[in-house]
Chains A and B, each alone.
Chain A
């Protein structure tokens, strides 16, 4: 189990390393004339050279990368070219908001997905049709379109929830929940169908297995077999899908944050990429990448917990 975890951790680290290398060099290719831009269009060559020296842009690219990577390992991701703010600080201060949003959406997706999927597998009928409709909607309607629809209905017409903005839980827990309700819904509705479909499929698959019949032959009621044994065996594939949905939700959150004016990582990603603020873009890419790697690791560990064959080998 320990070797397994270490292996997964190392492969995640390798993934992040490759991601950093590709992003770093691609970004530097795209931001060649940035020193002039920072200095201003009217600045002379001396001023530009000064900027280049200050940001280390005059050194060979490989050397720049190595020094960036060395300080990145200590948690220092450099400073923004345009605001001078430390990148680690700029990214981490916004990360919590996005994580709130994504974790809330994934939790709602998981809860509803398992519930609907289990109902669809055992009762068929209306839950089955609902799951099918939801999975088509989830594949077809982008989260931000749903978000716009939700704002139109619940914020503009009914005025039940605020249309925009984010309230920190330290200010008001009620306000925090109210400000997150619509964005979380917009992100979750798209993912519920996929998870429910997977839960339904793997439950139907497990229901056909021999050990389910044997447990029933000992007189265990159908319900207990379903919710204790079948669900536990079906949880693995469902968890994998939920992990994939996290990546999709994280991606969709950038646009949904824009719809609701939520100060998460989305706006940072937008402004930094528009300006060509390479250190900040690197920071956003690396931190979201690390988040995904972390979630995948968590999924792998949970899988191992659910599957004794993996856990005990």
Chain B
């Protein structure tokens, strides 16, 4: 495994990062000032002079003097050393205890894991400041000791990230291999596990150093530091009491403290961007992302069709693309479909062939920035591509309905079946609460749910998959839509339930006089329920015609392949008693 932290070029990449470069430069400068502070300071930071008391800035004393007559700039410079050192002490101690604990808990598991989890919970639920104050009474008033205690209090930050990294690594086959080949535990940890946790530890550290600097300043502000060592917190505290006389005395240490901490946090964010690859630029929304393929695929092979019913949905040359990385990925290249009134139209193809994306495009519900980038979708005489949100919304649920593939993930887990069933009835169809409830209960009974009242009150996790799918079908047909788009409505169900749900769909189609666009990968389902079929391959519709004709005489090589892949080449015979 490569370790991103040590890969060459991290510093150059940080320097190119818009916020990372100024942050890195500032932090490097601060460290330089901290190291060379004694020699950089123009005056003795503790020497007092009456002439300097509250003196304004001058050529000799750039930032003037404080209430005790000391040079402010020198104090600020020397304080950098103590403040950064405080942050380092915190980070070192936190890393030591947190990383060790995380390694042990993640590698050994069992009671070590349990104890670690409990201990972190204990530490996290204690207000740090109160514990630090109590620790001063118990262990003595040393500021460095307080910083060490704070290091222990903040160590869960390391513990967690190391624990997670170790857990992920220990599941890898190469660690198991090392174990079975007889390598000792310390060697496995040293060779494989430490390598994996290096990047997250570096990431967390800049934030922890910042927190340490902040906590040290807070303790100094409370007057718990040593009066003889100048720190930013102490300068803030002194300046605060003279604020009305000279606000600048508060400003300088605040700026030093605030800028250092902001730089550290920004550096941490930039490190995360570069190490975890989250800095990819968003795609340009205005650029036309789609170009037709240079090799035009042959036109759709159309079988002769005697169906003269009026056209309800017509999809022509549709292309769908999603933003990926810095550009766009086209998932549907050319989709052509004609769904007539009363027709049950199967759209069949392998997974990833673009059939579901075609369906979502018709619904106008492409997720994650997906777009219909070319072609047209005409429904009931109305062009849907580029239609505004309000008009599209007026069609959804009323005239176009949708039955999803995976029943459990398509019901909102936080609401009862009744609540999410009736809400659209009231909002979209304007029913009263009472009417909506009666409609919902009637429909639940209609789709074969034995105890509608109980299901109405249930939460999704209390239902079986088949039951949930019936609920979704009932909700979809509630408004009596013209077109029902069903996306693999039986794929996620048990085999016996599949046949029942298909039968239910067939009954509802006859009863409600709907057209159906049925997305499926199964010719069995097509033969069972569809009177028309379109075959889709690699984002393109390749063949279309009446089911009987396509199944009996497939003309496109892909269709032939698909049909040959079915055992015995025949559609599934209907189950006993499945047909009326």
A residues at B contact (CB < 8 Å): 15, 18-19, 23, 26-27, 29-31, 136-137, 139-142, 144-145, 148-149, 151-152, 156-157, 208-222, 224, 228-229, 232-233, 244, 247, 250-252, 254-255, 258-259, 269-270, 272-274, 276, 278, 281, 284-285, 288-289, 292-293, 296, 306-309, 312
Contacts and interface: CB of A to CB of B under 8 A. Distances in A.
A258 B240 CA distance: 11
Interface string B377-417: 00000000000010001111110111010100111111110
Given A19-B126, A139-B210, A232-B414, A215 B243 contact: no
A228 B423 CA distance: 10
B566 interface: no
Interface in B100-147: 121-122, 124-131, 133-140
Binding site secondary structure of chain B: helix
Give the one of A211, A213, A288 with max B CB within 10 A.
Answer: A211
A291 to B, nearest CB: 8
A140 B87 CA distance: 13
Contacts of B394: 219
Interface in B342-386: 360, 363, 365, 367-368
A94 to B, nearest CB: 13
A140 to B, nearest CB: 4
Contact of B410 (A137, A210, A232): A210
B368 A208 contact: yes
A274 to B, nearest CB: 8
A291 B471 CA distance: 45
A255 B137 contact: no
Contacts of A137: 262
A252 B137 CA distance: 19
Contact of B427 (A210, A220, A289): A220
B139 A26 contact: yes
3 smallest CB-CB distances across A and B, nearest first, come from: A219-B397, A30-B138, A217-B402
Given A214-B410, A308-B414, A259 B127 contact: no
13 contacts: A15-B121, A27-B138, A136-B269, A145-B257, A218-B478, A255-B218, A269-B130, A284-B130, A292-B127, A308-B413, A309-B459, A309-B461, A312-B459
B490 to A, nearest CB: 16
B25 interface: no
A142 B396 contact: no
B412 to A, nearest CB: 5
Contacts of B82: none
Contact of B134 (A141, A213, A273, A306): A273
B475 A218 contact: yes
B269 A296 contact: no
Contact of A247 (B125, B136, B411): B125
A129 to B, nearest CB: 12
B127 A140 contact: no
Given A31-B137, A145-B217, A251-B129, 16 more contacts: A26-B135, A29-B138, A142-B261, A152-B243, A156-B243, A211-B413, A213-B410, A217-B363, A219-B393, A222-B389, A224-B423, A224-B427, A254-B133, A255-B222, A273-B137, A312-B462
Contacts of B265: 136, 139-140
B78 to A, nearest CB: 20
Nearest to B236: A148
B412 A229 contact: yes
A139 B389 contact: no
A151 B243 contact: yes
B125 A296 contact: yes
Contact of A292 (B126, B215, B389): B126
Residue among B134, B250, B261, B404 facing the most chain A CB atoms (10 A cut-off): B134
Interface in B238-258: 240, 243-244, 247, 250, 254, 257-258
Given A144-B218, A149-B254, A292-B127, A211 B428 contact: no
Contacts of B389: 222
Contact of B412 (A26, A215, A281, A288): A215
B95 interface: no
A33 to B, nearest CB: 13
A304 B490 CA distance: 33
Nearest to A275: B137
Contact of A259 (B240, B368, B414): B240
